[in-house]
Homo-oligomer: A and B are copies of this chain.
């Protein structure tokens, strides 16, 4: 029987500390398999629910991997990927000390195309909101922003004045985002895009496709086109900001 430290912290935290202290010391074999919940119950003298909570939280924090029916394992060192941050364009422009202005080209209710309804994961055809806005930095158009919005989550989208409130701000305020999908690509400007952004047809544009979810429901689909010569996505990131 192992005795956990006699501090003020809750029991499941002590169990977490105990497990963390034993990760990396090689104490748990070269297959990096932890004792089972029931073994920990026996060796630590706490209930299985408490052990389970400790293990679940360490798993969600990325330290462990658990397989039902198999066991609990130490997670491999962090996956080789880096993150970049995508900011709200209005805020970004203002932060650079420049003036931001929006021009609303379209704000309407439409029936989605079959393809769009599919992207929304709609079982049947329901009408959705559709907006097209051009964002200016010091009177120079930098971003063409087309959005499709799920009206069941954001009811009054079509009644807003998006030349005053940025669409992004309104959406973020109205509904919590639980998941985001991004696809970034480079595309040549089509005729309409070129006209709105004041660039040549065929000029390189950065194209950002974004879907956001609230729970299991697709909340918004956005297609953001940036004039390639006038804009780039940038970020600086420290991986060491995790627990």
A3 in contact (CB, < 8 A): no
The reply to whether A80 and B84 form a contact with Cβ atoms under 8 Å apart is no
Q: Per-residue 0/1 for A168-196: is the Cβ within 8 Å of any B Cβ (1 yes, 0 no)?
A: 11001111111111111111100000000
Residues of B within 8 A of A63 (CB): 176
Interface size classification for chain A? 35 or more
Stretch at the interface among A36-44, A117-125, A129-137, A225-233: A225-233
The reply to whether A177 and B239 form a contact with Cβ atoms under 8 Å apart is yes
The reply to whether A183 and B87 form a contact with Cβ atoms under 8 Å apart is no
Smallest Cβ distance from A171 to chain B, in angstroms? 10
A113 in contact (CB, < 8 A): no
Residues of B within 8 A of A241 (CB): 60, 62
- DSSP class of A's interface residues: helix, strand, loop or mixed? mixed
Residues of B within 8 A of A175 (CB): 23-24
The reply to whether A182 and B216 form a contact with Cβ atoms under 8 Å apart is no
A94 in contact (CB, < 8 A): no
Smallest Cβ distance from A93 to chain B, in angstroms? 13
A68 in contact (CB, < 8 A): no
The reply to whether A20 and B176 form a contact with Cβ atoms under 8 Å apart is yes
Residues of B within 8 A of A243 (CB): 57, 60-61, 243
- Of the A-B pairs whose beta carbons lie under 8 Å apart in the complex, a sample of 12, sorted by A's number, is A17-B215, A20-B176, A20-B214, A63-B176, A78-B172, A80-B91, A81-B85, A82-B86, A83-B83, A84-B84, A179-B237, A185-B228
